[in-house]
Structure 1
Amino acid sequence: MVISWLHNNISDSIKKLILFINDASEVWKSLESRFQVVNGSRKYKLNKDLFSLKQNGLTLVEYYTALTSIWEELDNMNSLPAITVITAEIEAFLKALDVHKQEARLFQFLNGLDDVYAHQRSQVLMMPMLPSVEMSCSLVQQEESQRNTLKLQVDAGHEIAAMYSKANSSERCFECGGKGHTKANCWTIIGYPKWHSKNKKFVSNKSASSGAGKWQGNSGNRNYGNNKMVNNVVVQEDEPKDSNVMISAKQFEQLL
């Protein structure tokens, strides 16, 4: 039965090596002699993975879980001998050994954090008493939670703005045929704003029709016949009728 258990828990390539051994203890000794050196290679790989492990955009939970799994596997491999009699010196030694172990894990955790948590790393290292790695992870997680909350708020604002812009761009006025507004907001119905070139109809006089300029108060606008100077731009009140007009009122509205 034990031999059957062993055969069912090893790969086919290894099974061929013990296929004709009929004693369970001999099977175990054969496997131990062949693969006991793997512990050294495994320890080397685990330590290499531990020293090279970085957060690299992972969440704190994912990063800390990866670290914990390596630490636990190394602890299982690095078993210490049992102590039957505990004296005060041995107890102090074990406490100092545990502090050293916790500090090493804390430094490994802080070393692999992304640079966005550099401030939190400095805060932990400046504490009079270094906290445990679990407490440090909890402190950094609070910062991560705040960052995620702010990011969600910003993303929601961008999404609402995009939806609003898309909705406005899809609107079409059936009165003037323009896009971006409805009939209820059309200027041709509710009136043009004060700054718009079509807000008022400028009265033409003889001097204006002849091309002489006339100032309109302090508005900075000047009449040029059927045209109008607004912010140093000649604008025609109606659609241009000759090639001498530089810009129409509709084009000026689009520019504004």
Structure 2
Amino acid sequence: MLLALSAKNKIGFVDGSFIKPDFGTAEHKAWERCNDLVCSLILGNLNETITKSVMFMKSARDIWTDLEDRFGFASLAQIYSLEQKLAEISQGDKSVAEFFTEIKSVWDAIEEANPLPYCTCNNCTCNVTKKFFQRQQERMVMQFMMKLNDHFATIRGNVLMVPTLPKVSEAYRLFSQEERYKEVSQASNQVETLAFAAEKRRFTGDHWNSSNKTYKTGFQTGYQSGSQKSGGTNRFSRPGSNYYCTHCQTQGHSVERCFKIHGYPPGYKTARDNKVAAVSFGDNSNNSVPELPQTEASPTITVEQYQQLMDMLSKQQQQNANTNPNLAMMAAREADSSW
């Protein structure tokens, strides 16, 4: 309110410096017009209850004096409320700037309600006012650092190591710069993490062959990849396979394990695709032998069936022996060879 009145050059109406002129003069009318303006400004900034108690006063000086007598002092309850708010305040999820603004408003309210004592003697040599102000600055810096979050512990320790604490404004600048630095660092780390993840997805399946110190990309070193041979089509559709046979042009085994070159195991048969000439052993870390396809079992006969067959052959031989002895001998030989 005082700022508004001072800006309009009307503060003299509330402090009593502008005395009311005599009635009937030209200055009296001008004074009344300015006085009514100041009264309207004061009444417009009061709540409804307080406005009713001063609205019938004709002088701005009278209104101001009455308000100052009723509300122009600081009670212990008001100071207690401000100190309690200062004790409970903390940064939380607010930024350093927002938290400093909030706590500074409480400091200013306490200073207005309970100002520091100062020396009133002339030619003072003890500098007690300066010492009081310095002590107050140190207390405010301590409170400000205590109520910040724990991720400022490093810079808080650095400030406490200094023999003389900085001013409140200097401490605010230090912690504000630290906050900006952390934000920039986190943004840079996030960008680097995303870039690393993109590169990792790009080179998935690549590995480093420690035996010959060569870089392998899913196929045997020294040979052209299947995607290059097929005009850019990716033929490595099965995940987890790191072998490619350049002889069979298939994935799943290397040239060193190709059955088409080194021979098939005993009893091996391909039922799904006769054109595929190799079988992958996979990437077994325990060197376990893969299962081979099972061959179809040969039909068997019982002893009774065999005996019946031999009886039939004997009867046939006897019949043929009666007609041609040579044919009987040939039939017996064929029976023995078929068994």
- TM-score, structure 2 length as denominator? 0.50
Alignment of 1:109-124 (within 5 A): 109-124=144-159
Of all paired residues, the percent bearing the same amino acid is 22
What residue in structure 2 maps to residue 184 of structure 1? 232
How far is 1:45 from its partner? 2.9
- Of 104, 112, 130, the residue aligned with 1:68 is 104
Helix, strand or coil at the partner of 1:88: coil
Alignment of 1:128-147 (within 5 A): 128-147=163-182
Cα distance in 1 for residues equivalent to 2:71 and 2:289: 89
Alignment partner of 1:16: what SS? helix
CA distance in 1, matches of 2:39, 2:46: 11
Per-residue deviation, residues 84-126 of structure 1 (Å, max 9, x unmatched):
513212x2x2222122111101110111111111122222222
Moved more, 74-83 or 158-167: 158-167
For 1:222, the equivalent position in structure 2 comes to none
Instruction: Give the match for residue 53 of structure 2.
Output: 17
Give the 5 Å matches for 1:1-40: 1=36, 2-36=38-72, 40=76
Q: Which residue of 1 aligns with 2:8?
A: none
Q: 2:82 aligns with which of 41, 46, 55?
A: 46
Count of matched residue pairs: 209
Using CA pairs under 8 Å that are at least 6 residues apart, name the structure with larger relative contact order, 1 or 2.
Answer: 1
Out of 262, 281, 299, the position equivalent to 1:229 is 281
Asked if 1:99 corresponds to 2:162, the answer is no
| Backbone CA RMSD of aligned residues | 4.0
Structure 2 unaligned spans of 5+: 1-35, 204-230, 245-250, 270-276, 296-339
| CA separation of 1:27 and 1:205: change in aligned 2, threshold 3 A | closer
User: Hey, what does 1:55 align to over in structure 2?
Assistant: 91
Shift of 1:10: 0.9
The 5 Å alignment of 1:193-212 reads: 194=243, 197-200=252-255, 201-203=258-260, 208-211=265-268
**CA–CA distance in structure 2, aligned partners of residues 121 and 17 of structure 1:** 52
Structure 1 position 43, deviation (Å): 3.0
Give the TM-score normalised by the residue count of structure 1.
0.63
Aligned AA (2:252): S
SS at match of 1:141: helix
Post-superposition offset of 1:64: 2.0
Q: Is the 8 A contact 2:73 2:113 kept in 1?
A: no
* C-alpha spacing 1:36/1:100, structure 2 compared with 1 (3 Å): same
CA distance in 2, matches of 1:103, 1:228: 77
Alignment of 1:71-82 (within 5 A): 71-79=107-115, 80=117
CA separation in 2, counterparts of 1:6 and 1:143? 45
Unaligned stretches of 5+ residues in structure 1: 169-182, 213-224, 243-256
Distance 1:188-1:28 versus aligned 2 partners, 3 A rule: closer
Q: Partner of 2:13 in structure 1?
A: none
- The structure with more radius of gyration: 2
Whether contact under 8 Å (1:229, 1:235) holds in the other structure is no
Tell me which residue corresponds to 1:85.
122
Report the CA distance shift for 1:166/1:228 in structure 2 as closer, same or farther (over 3 A). closer
* SS, match of residue 55 in structure 1: coil
What do residues 193-245 of structure 1 show as CA deviations (whole Å, max 9, x unaligned)? 53651555532888625049xxxxxxxxxxxx964433137489xxx9x9xxx
SS in structure 2 of the partner of residue 86 of structure 1: coil
The amino acid across from 1:210 in the alignment is G
Contact 2:96–2:176 under 8 Å retained in 1: yes
